[in-house]
Amino acid sequence: MEADRKSIHDFDVSLICEYFSNMERQGPGSPEVTVKALGFVNNLTRDSHIADIGCGTGGQTMVLADNTDGHLTGVDLFPAFIDIFNNNVNRRSLRGRVKGIVGSMFELPFDNEELDLIWSEGAIYNIGFEKGLKEWRRFLKPGGFIAVSEVSWFTTKRPEEIEDFWQDAYPQIDTIPNKIKLLQETGYIPVASFILPEECWIENFYEPQTEARRKFLEKYRGNKTVEDFIENEKNEARLYDKYKEYYGYVFYIGKKCDI
Ligand code: SAH
C-alpha cells in the first residue's frame, strides 16, 4: 500500500484544475490573513498597480480589491480559473479596475518597474521561492512590495514520514529563518512574516474538499485515476492533521531594496 502511494506529480493538470475549480480557494488562506498581510504594505494609492500571481479563481484577489483602490491584474496559467475569476469580477462590478489574464509566472507580461505590489498566495512554489523572488523583482518599482505565502518548516527536526512527503512534493521547503534569509539575499528588506492559522488549512482548504470530492467521485465513478487522485488529496489532509505542529503556510512580506 505505502509503495503504491502516488504523488501529486503523477496526475494530469486538467484533472487537478477541474477538482479545484469547484472551490473558492485553491490553496490555504483566508480573507483575514490576506488583510493582515496587506497591513504591512504601505505604498499604495489609487494609481497603484498590483499583480496577483497564480491567482487561481481569485478568492484572495477579490479581498485585495475590497481593501485597495488601485488596479489589480490576476495572472494564472489555467484558462478555466481565469474564466471563473473574470465572472467574479463582473458579478462584483469590479470591471475596469480588476482583470484576470491567462499567463505564466515564468514569463510575466509586465514591464520593468511597473508594479507597486506583487502578491502570490500558495503559488510561488510552482516557480520555486528563490527563483520567483529573483525573477519577479525587476517588475517592482523601487521600494515596491512583495507578499507571498509559502509552505515552511516550523522546527529544525521532523519525523521521517512528513520529511519524506515534503522532500518529494516540494524539496525547497525550508525553515522560516532560511526563507527570510533568501528574501534578504534576493533584494528585499524582510518587512514581516507570520504563520497562517490552522483554520486556513482545515476550514478553508481541506474541509471544502469533502464536497468537491463527493461531486468528483460521482462524476467519474469507476475512474481509477480520479480515485487515486482523491486518495492522494485525502492522504495530504491526513498528514497535515498528524504533523501540523511541524509545518504550515507562512506569509513573507518584503520591500524591494538595492542589492
Ligand atoms: N492563489 C490562489 C491559488 C493557489 S493554487 C489561492 O490561494 O487560492 C496555485 C495556483 O498557481 C493555481 O491556480 C495554478 O493554476 C497556478 N499556477 C501553477 N503554475 C503556474 C504558472 N506557471 N504560472 C501561473 N500560474 C500557475
The CATH number of the domain where 196 resides is what? 3.40.50.150
User: If you measure from the C-alpha of residue 27 to the centroid of ligand 1, how many angstroms do you get, rounded to a whole number?
Assistant: 9
In a domain, 177, yes or no: yes
Question: How far is the C-alpha of 68 from the C-alpha of 134, rounded, in Å?
Answer: 26
In a domain, 119, yes or no: yes
In a domain, 61, yes or no: yes
Query: Quick check: CB of 25 below 6 Å from ligand 1?
Result: yes
Virtual CA dihedral for 92, 95, 96, 98, nearest 10 degrees?
70
Instruction: State mean pLDDT over 193-217.
Output: 92
In a domain, 141, yes or no: yes
pLDDT (0 to 100) of residue 244: 97
From residue 244, give the alpha-carbon distance in Å to each of 107, 152, 193, 241, 249.
34, 11, 18, 6, 10
Instruction: State mean pLDDT over 124-153.
Output: 98
CB atoms within 10 A of CB 185: 12
Question: How far is the C-alpha of 51 from the C-alpha of 115, rounded, in Å?
Answer: 7
User: If you measure from the C-alpha of residue 70 to the centroid of ligand 1, how many angstroms do you get, rounded to a whole number?
Assistant: 22
In a domain, 66, yes or no: yes
Pairing of strands 188-195, 247-256: antiparallel
pLDDT (0 to 100) of residue 257: 97
In a domain, 155, yes or no: yes
Using 50, 70 and 90 to split pLDDT, how confident is the model at 162?
very high
Instruction: State mean pLDDT over 79-93.
Output: 96
* Residue 25: strand, helix, or coil: coil
pLDDT (0 to 100) of residue 8: 63
Q: What cell was used for 238?
A: 491526513
Which residues share a beta bridge with 190?
254
Query: Quick check: CB of 122 below 6 Å from ligand 1?
Result: yes
User: If you measure from the C-alpha of residue 154 to the centroid of ligand 1, how many angstroms do you get, rounded to a whole number?
Assistant: 24
Q: Which residues contact 31 (CB under 8 A, 6 or more apart)?
A: 60, 63
User: Rounded to two decimals, what is the model's pTM?
Assistant: 0.94
pLDDT higher than threshold 70 for residue 185: yes
Count of domains in the chain?
1
In a domain, 214, yes or no: no
pLDDT (0 to 100) of residue 22: 80
In a domain, 60, yes or no: yes
Q: What is the atom index within ligand 1 of the atom nearest the CA of 120?
A: 1
Which residues share a beta bridge with 233?
none
* Residue 40 structural domain: 26-200+247-256
Which residue's CA is the closest to the ligand 1 atom numbered 13? 56
pLDDT (0 to 100) of residue 7: 65
User: If you measure from the C-alpha of residue 206 to the centroid of ligand 1, how many angstroms do you get, rounded to a whole number?
Assistant: 17
